[in-house]
A = this chain, B = another copy of it.
Amino acid sequence: MSTTKSNYSRPLDFKNGCVEMSHGSGGRASTQLIESLFSPAFDNEFLRQGNDGVTLPAPPAGCRLVMSTDAHVVSPLFFPGGDIGCLSVHGTINDVAMMGAQPLWLSASFILEEGFPMADLQRVVVSMAQAAKEAGVPVVCGDTKVVERGKGDGVYISTTGVGYVAAGVALSGDRARVGDVILLSGTIGDHGMAIMSQREGLQFEADIRSDTAALHELVAAMLATGADIHVLRDPTRGGLATTLNEIVRQSAVGMVLDEAAIPLSKTVAAACEFLGLDPLYVANEGKLVAICAAADAEKVLAAMRAHPLGKEASVIGKVIEDASCFVQMKTSLGGRRMVDWLTGDQLPRIC
């Protein structure tokens, strides 16, 4: 095997080079890829340990551990407002944050397709590292595999996040209670429509940009109010409608939403109408739903609006008793309609 020639003795060509099968071999070429791209981009004291696993500090006394994982297969890889790199950081940070935890570390595993341009890989990795740095959540361990041309799609990234949640914080989808208020941190549908407009080559009056963002600091600000928050969840795949349906089922309650109160940008509304999509089912990557005791709703809303990622937050509905676990919506025209689960998939590979 040591007779196979490779380019390992030459520097990686980040301008015209491509991913080769040998970059996934675990041998010299893998090491070169790690040392010339991943290590410098993600550099931190933990990654520098250089072993197959990483050793991390224990949580402060009384804290429990929170763990979450997501595979990212978004297509296209680059879209207005982001790319698969920052998305894979934000998505997993947000899942950890929705448990009320402080996200602390990420692992990243890459599945690269043979022939993927090194320049694109570099762009993804740099964006990912930048997102991790901005969020203060370092990538502390990783893995890279390469699959043959036609067995992947450039790059897929799975991230796992670990964080610590303080004693006394107990957020869960099964804690929504009749009378609770439902809050939403901002406009819906931006991420999904940014991807769709890119795919369809559509030009709208104003660019639609993905809302991809790390929400852990917004969550921390909300928790710091001491309000009685029961559920936090980010409405990603399947959109707001699917997320709320998950919660009513877990909590065995119903919900009534007020359509007019759900923030929606004019451009996203127009794009949805053009493509025949309902924004309630379109993915978000930088929004959260909070369900809290009615008495605390104003306090939570104020904390959300005081944060840049929640400045358009609003109360969008309330939790009601309903043995059928339906999500209903008072429409802008004064009627009521059922808001069902997403069925089928008209927006594949949105995240």
List chain A positions with a Cβ less than 8 A from chain B: 1-2, 4-6, 8, 20-22, 24-31, 49-59, 61-73, 95-96, 98-99, 101, 105, 107-111, 140-148, 150-153, 156, 158, 160-162, 164-165, 171-174, 233-234, 236-238, 242, 246, 250, 277-278, 281, 283, 340-349
Contact = CB atoms under 8 A, between A and B. Distances in A.
A62 B50 CA distance: 23
Given A25-B344, A65-B162, A101 B53 contact: yes
Contacts of A156: 111, 145, 147, 156
Q: How many copies does the complex hold?
A: 2
A2 to B, nearest CB: 5
Closest 4 CB pairs of A and B: A26-B237, A4-B344, A27-B342, A25-B345
A58 B55 CA distance: 15
A260 B96 CA distance: 51
Given A50-B250, A58-B164, 4 more contacts: A1-B281, A22-B344, A28-B341, A148-B349
A5 to B, nearest CB: 7
A275 B153 CA distance: 31
Nearest to A156: B111
A307 to B, nearest CB: 21
A109 B25 contact: no
Nearest to A107: B69
24 contacts: A1-B346, A1-B347, A6-B344, A25-B237, A27-B238, A27-B343, A49-B172, A51-B171, A52-B234, A53-B101, A55-B66, A55-B99, A56-B64, A58-B63, A59-B59, A65-B162, A67-B105, A68-B141, A69-B107, A69-B141, A69-B143, A73-B147, A143-B158, A151-B152
Given A345-B29, A348-B24, A52 B95 contact: yes
A277 B25 CA distance: 15
Given A67-B141, A143-B69, A8 B55 contact: no
A274 to B, nearest CB: 15
A68 B53 contact: yes
A57 B160 CA distance: 17
A51 B340 CA distance: 20
Contacts of A25: 237-238, 342, 344-345, 347-348
Nearest to A23: B345
B158 A71 contact: yes
Nearest to A25: B345
